[in-house]
Structure 1
Amino acid sequence: MADYRNPDPIDIALHCARAALGMMERHRVPPHPENFSIWYAYVSGRNPDLTQAIDEILRTGTGFSAEINDTLYERFAAFTPEKAELREVGQRVEDAVGRMLEYLSHASQGTTKYGIALETFSGCLNTDAPAPSEINGAIAAVLTETRTMADLNRQLERRLASSGREIRQLRDALDSLQREASTDALTQIANRKTFDAVLSLAVREAESSRRPLSLLMIDVDHFKSFNDTYGHPLGDQILKLIGRSLIETIQAKDTAARYGGEEFAVILPETELDTAISIANDIRLRVAGRRVTNRRTGETLGQVTLSAGAAQFSPGESITSLVHRADEALYLAKREGRNRVMSQRDLPQDGI
């Protein structure tokens, strides 16, 4: 769910709120606060499990009864597993660091005692005529503290090595949680939450550098019909295929994301509109050139086509405006017959 202690930027929040209310109206979901919190989280891509649950309801056409709405809220609003995992790993990191500080403090105490023993021995030698017993006692004390210090160092080395391994494991766990939090579980590309964050950063960079920034919105043609005909597992196979095709087509500086359902988005920094249109066509042709096969039966199910809309950021405009213009170009591509790319140039008055 959304973390309201760290709210989204106003443009993103407004876009998500409008999208949430729009979807609630289309699916006849009463817009009270509990339902709104669920749909806001859905459109923002904050919770993959919630996204999967709502996607499944949309696919099956079950509808959103009061009971289903209540179940979604009880299941996803009060508790978020990813936050619990982060808290657990954070507590383990805190414990590991605490143990390391304790080990270092213990070693520091041993070093202090060793220093005192050396000072005592030095003071004994600096007297005019130290007695042999005094020298022997000082030497014995230094030897005892030396052995103690050696033992402490060995223990510290072992403990620090163990703590180092534990912290490396925790770092890997945090990296894994971060990947899971930022990645769509099905397609393994960025999720909606990551898309929003990356686009916000890309817009700020485009504003400051005055370099171009383009955005693609992409949708699978007739996806519901394919799902209804062949089933959801093969529908998921198509979504995975598109995710791979996006990654294979774009560059490292670009970001491909699953925007929601069968809709995808690609953020293209330092990219003019003409290049963005070309990239969208490359993606469209790459997907259309592949044939979807039922792995269980070996049956070839035909061609998958995409429609896409492209828009270029104009300095000073809002994120909502950029996304809306790319969306409008996408819907125009749908109206014009699908399996094509349209851009803001094709919109009335350049989509403004």
Structure 2
Amino acid sequence: MEYTENTDQALGFAKQALDKMNEIGVPANPHNFTIWFHYFSGTYPDLKRTLDILLGNQQAFTETRNSEIFQKFFTLDQESATLHDATTRMESELARVMSTLDGADEDLSGLHVSLRDFSDQISKTDDKSEILALTTRMNAHVAQVLEGRSAVEDELKVSLREISELKDDLERMRREALTDGLTGIANRKLFDLELRKSSMNAMANGEELALLMLDVDHFDRFNEHYGHQVGDQVLKLVAVTISECIKGQDTAARYGGDEFSVILPRTNLENAQRLAEHICKRVSSKNVVNRSTGERLGKITMSVGVALFEYGEPVSQLLVRADRTLQEAMKNGYNQVLTQVDVTKLLN
């Protein structure tokens, strides 16, 4: 990331950031400071727009929300740095392997020359003492090369183990980059990738594609009345329940905050609606219990919007249609499933 501010500008943005964080009760840690510094510097228009909406709606900047904002707008740089570090280490280990193998080849080449010379010298003498001396030197040379070969094997084992660990690190980083840290299901980044891929597959194969947008009804009351730990418990419970209801081809994701989404390849509107109703029924059958006190906190209900992909449209239009359907379900009394067809009827 490149910074174009001069010293005075940077100081000004920093002061504005700290003042605003203090005003709205956001802890001044490095991640939060990064968010609000860039808000005032205007570096990321999407970030500024997001924060303006939250401020305009007088939303609380909780620890979870701050973490989500940072993850959405700034983790790519961190992932790139981690990837660069892992790649550099991988290149270093591979160079060491090549160097080790080159050294082993040189030792073997030298041994080949020595054996040939030994054979020539043996053939030219009948002196037992000289033959014994030649044999002793040759044995010593062979032993030295074999010892070097053992060292090479040990060196290669170390390098291969390091490369294996790097591979595991990269795989873990890939999973973390695409997984929501709280709920363990797909995050917004993976959702966007899967939705684009699913829309392309649907058009290529002439198949249907449905999308569910789900929102936990009155989620703020869990946070406000019982604390954010209970709110997090609710989100985890919802994520697990959704995951239990879908098939292997489907993708459940945390879209943001208390909103979830499910991508349903090869699924028509009727079957998508049926699944949404099943999810709502399963979620409402769960009783939320405060783990620290054992108190029962009541049932969870959800509102769901169901939309169907239309060939050739941008996926953003599908998202808008699904979200508008969800908003109508919430406006119409919560705890219900509406499809895009239902919304059309309501608005006409």
TM-score scaled by structure 2? 0.76
Q: Is the 8 A contact 1:218 1:309 kept in 2?
A: yes
1:291 to partner: Cα distance = 0.7
Q: Is the 8 A contact 1:114 1:142 kept in 2?
A: no
1:345 to partner: Cα distance = 1.8
Q: Is the 8 A contact 1:59 1:224 kept in 2?
A: no
Moved more, 78-87 or 247-256: 78-87
Does residue 207 (structure 1) correspond to residue 208 (structure 2)? The answer is no
Does residue 90 (structure 1) correspond to residue 87 (structure 2)? The answer is yes
Q: Which residue is equivalent to 1:180?
A: 176
Does residue 58 (structure 1) correspond to residue 55 (structure 2)? The answer is no
Identical aligned residues as a percent: 36
1:150 counterpart letter in structure 2: L
2:189 counterpart letter in structure 1: K
Within the candidate set 41, 45, 67, 1:36 is matched to 45
1:210 to partner: Cα distance = 1.7
1:220 to partner: Cα distance = 0.8
Does residue 347 (structure 1) correspond to residue 343 (structure 2)? The answer is yes
Q: Which residue is equivalent to 1:101?
A: 98
Structure 2 distance, partners of 1:141, 1:100, is 30
| 3-state SS of paired residue (2:43) | helix
TM-score scaled by structure 1? 0.75
1:132 counterpart letter in structure 2: D
Q: Is the 8 A contact 1:308 1:342 kept in 2?
A: yes
Show CA shifts across 1:71-104 (max 9, x none): x99xx76994433333332222222222212211
**Structure 1 residues 315 and 78, CA, compared in 2 at 3 Å: closer, same or farther?**
closer
Structure 2 distance, partners of 1:271, 1:208, is 15
Q: Which residue is equivalent to 2:26?
A: none
Q: Is the 8 A contact 2:39 2:47 kept in 1?
A: no
| 3-state SS of paired residue (2:261) | strand
Within the candidate set 96, 100, 118, 2:115 is matched to 118
Q: Which residue is equivalent to 1:275?
A: 271
1:221 to partner: Cα distance = 0.7
Show CA shifts across 1:168-190 (max 9, x none): 22222112211211111111111
| 3-state SS of paired residue (2:291) | coil
Structure 2 distance, partners of 1:95, 1:131, is 50
Alignment of 1:222-241 (within 5 A): 222-241=218-237
**Structure 1 residues 104 and 287, CA, compared in 2 at 3 Å: closer, same or farther?**
same
Alignment of 1:125-204 (within 5 A): 130-132=124-126, 139=135, 142-204=138-200
Does residue 264 (structure 1) correspond to residue 260 (structure 2)? The answer is yes
Q: Which residue is equivalent to 2:325?
A: 329
| 3-state SS of paired residue (1:267) | strand
1:296 to partner: Cα distance = 1.3
RMSD: 3.3
1:138 to partner: Cα distance = 6.2
Show CA shifts across 1:201-231 (max 9, x none): 1111222122222111111111123322222
**Structure 1 residues 242 and 115, CA, compared in 2 at 3 Å: closer, same or farther?**
same
What is the number of equivalent residue pairs in this alignment?
A: 299
| 3-state SS of paired residue (2:153) | helix
| 3-state SS of paired residue (1:252) | coil
Gaps of 5+ in 2: 2-37
Structure 1 distance, partners of 2:314, 2:165, is 41
Q: Which residue is equivalent to 1:320?
A: 316
Moved more, 81-90 or 276-285: 81-90
1:34 counterpart letter in structure 2: T
Structure 2 distance, partners of 1:104, 1:37, is 51
| 3-state SS of paired residue (1:342) | strand
1:328 to partner: Cα distance = 1.7
Show CA shifts across 1:273-328 (max 9, x none): 22211221121111100011111111111011111111222221111111112112
Gaps of 5+ in 1: 2-28, 43-52, 63-67
Select the structure with the greater relative contact order (CA < 8 A; seq sep ≥ 6): 1
